[in-house]
């Protein structure tokens, strides 16, 4: 693809496997580079984001001058977009060990260094809603004030990606800042909302498989095996949206941790509904015990490709990692490409028409 000199271009910080970059590229934005501290993302990123560099770097050690020189960036470039979709475990409502993600709480501060130095025409930040709920602690309050003080028009809101054509209910904080026009830019909602039925199933290219199926092709219709006891539990769960309460009164099948706790973690061992969007695809979507990730009809978890499809990755997108769980992390951590495309289209429209 050939880009003109006045083409909107972007640098994607915390790029991961390339969900945001791919969507932006589909919107017509030239991706100059993706930056991530996980070297394991390189092959996936480079195979799918054509023409972009993958820069392996920890943002805490990356200097503004080095990046400017390496990518031949210019300050005050109206056609430059800086994107920061930092790892969000620290601000997530999911009950994880926050000590492991302690360092990540300062990533927005680090990203802001590059914005303040380069003064790009556009800035995009995407993260969990928790950064807004705790905007002072996360650095968001200070960042927004700096943007507004330096003539940026700032849109920020929590959006559900389901409203933008992604077949998944996923609430994400999104900020789009712009100093090129006087507009507050926001992605346009889709008129065609999709459910699980619209993208999964045999008629959409997903043949029926059993738990433990290994797909050695790039398609990765691969799913982990399960124990006989887990299979018995799943078989008890009604098709199309059933949950673990269906085996709660069975002494053999009930899990000890859920005895007298019917209202706790009800989605565990739950099936997806055909006529609804999927729940948020996390990094553990290929495990039946980590949420509502059981296939609507089949007695197994979602396959890697099914999870990627619910994230709105095209079926041609190739994933590479040392293990299936590592691929699932790339998929679950990604910005849904279709949502990223909506953001990119709004920026391109503003750049062209002001």
**207-302 belongs to CATH 3.90.1150.200:** no
Domain locations in the chain?
Answer: 9-186+333-353, 207-302
Residue 29's pLDDT is 98
Helix (H) or strand (E) holding 304: helix 304-310
The C-alpha atoms of residue 128 and residue 225 are separated, in whole angstroms, by 31
Task: Take residue 265 and report the two structure tokens written for it.
Answer: 């973690």
CB burial readout 324-336, b (16+ within 10 A) else e: bebbbbbbbbbbb
User: Lowest mean pLDDT: which of 75-79, 138-142, 296-300?
Assistant: 138-142
Tally of helices (H runs) and strands (E runs) in the chain:
11, 7
Residue 208 · residue 199 · CB < 8 Å: no
Query: For position 248, what pLDDT does the model report?
Result: 78
Q: Which of 252, 229, 257, 233 is nearest to 244 (CA)?
A: 233
The CATH code that applies to domain 9-186+333-353 is 3.40.50.150
For residue 203, how many other CB atoms are within 10 A of its CB?
A: 7
| Cβ proximity of 279 and 291 under 8 Å | yes
d(CA 231, CA 300): 8
- Average pLDDT of span 228-244: 93
Tokens 């055909």 sit at which residue?
A: 274
DSSP 44: H
pLDDT(58) > 80 = yes
- pLDDT grade for 92, boundaries at 50, 70 and 90: very low
Phi-psi region of 172 (alpha: psi -120 to 50; beta: other; left: phi over 0): beta
For the stretch 193-226, pLDDT in tens is 999 999 999 999 999 999 999 999 999 999 999 9
Distance from chain centroid for Cα 218: 20
Phi, psi of 279 (to 5 degrees): -70, 175
pLDDT value of position 6: 65
| Three-state secondary structure call for residue 174 | strand
Query: Residue 83's CB: how many other CB atoms inside 10 A?
Result: 28
The pLDDT of residue 107 = 86
- What is the predicted pLDDT for the residue at 64? 97
pLDDT at 156 over 70: yes
- Among residues 315, 291, 288, 157, the alpha carbon closest in space to that of 233 is found at 288
Residue-level pLDDT at 258: 65
DSSP state of 40: G
DSSP string computed for 239-265: TTT--GGGGTT-TTTS-GGGTT-TTSS
Query: Considering only CA atoms, which of 303, 150, 281 is closest in space to residue 222?
Result: 303
């Amino acid at each position: 693809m050939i880009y003109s000199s006045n083409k909107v271009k972007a640098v994607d910080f915390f790029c991961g496997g390339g969900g945001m970059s791919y969507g932006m590229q589909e919107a017509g934005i030239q991706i100059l580079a993706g930056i991530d501290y996980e070297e394991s993302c390189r092959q996936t990123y480079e195979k799918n984001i054509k023409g972009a560099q993958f820069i392996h770097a920890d943002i805490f050690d990356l200097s503004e001058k080095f990046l400017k020189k390496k990518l031949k960036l210019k300050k005050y470039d109206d056609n430059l977009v800086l994107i920061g979709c930092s790892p969000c475990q620290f601000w997530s409502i999911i009950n994880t060990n926050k000590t492991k993600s302690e360092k990540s709480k300062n990533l927005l501060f680090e990203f802001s260094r590059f914005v303040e130095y380069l003064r790009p025409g556009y800035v995009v930040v995407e993260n969990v809603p928790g950064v807004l709920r705790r905007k002072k602690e996360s650095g968001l309050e200070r960042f927004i004030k700096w943007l507004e003080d330096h003539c940026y028009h700032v849109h920020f809101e929590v959006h559900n990606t389901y409203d933008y054509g992604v077949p998944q209910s996923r609430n994400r904080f999104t900020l789009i800042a712009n100093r090129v026009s006087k507009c507050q830019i926001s992605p346009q909602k889709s008129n065609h909302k999709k459910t699980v039925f619209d993208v999964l199933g045999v008629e959409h290219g997903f043949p029926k498989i059993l738990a433990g199926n290994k797909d050695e092709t790039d398609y990765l219709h691969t799913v982990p095996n399960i124990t006989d006891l887990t299979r018995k539990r799943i078989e008890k769960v009604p098709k199309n949206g059933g949950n673990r309460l269906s085996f709660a009164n069975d002494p053999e099948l009930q899990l000890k941790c859920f005895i007298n706790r019917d209202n706790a973690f009800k989605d565990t061992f739950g099936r997806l509904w055909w006529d609804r969007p999927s729940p948020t695809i996390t990094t553990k979507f290929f495990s039946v015990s980590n949420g509502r990730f059981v296939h609507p009809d089949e007695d197994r978890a979602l396959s890697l490709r099914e999870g990627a499809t619910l994230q709105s990755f095209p079926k041609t997108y190739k994933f590479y990692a040392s293990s299936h769980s590592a691929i699932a992390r790339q998929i679950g951590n990604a910005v849904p490409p279709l949502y990223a495309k909506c953001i990119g289209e709004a920026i391109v429209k503003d750049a062209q028409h002001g």
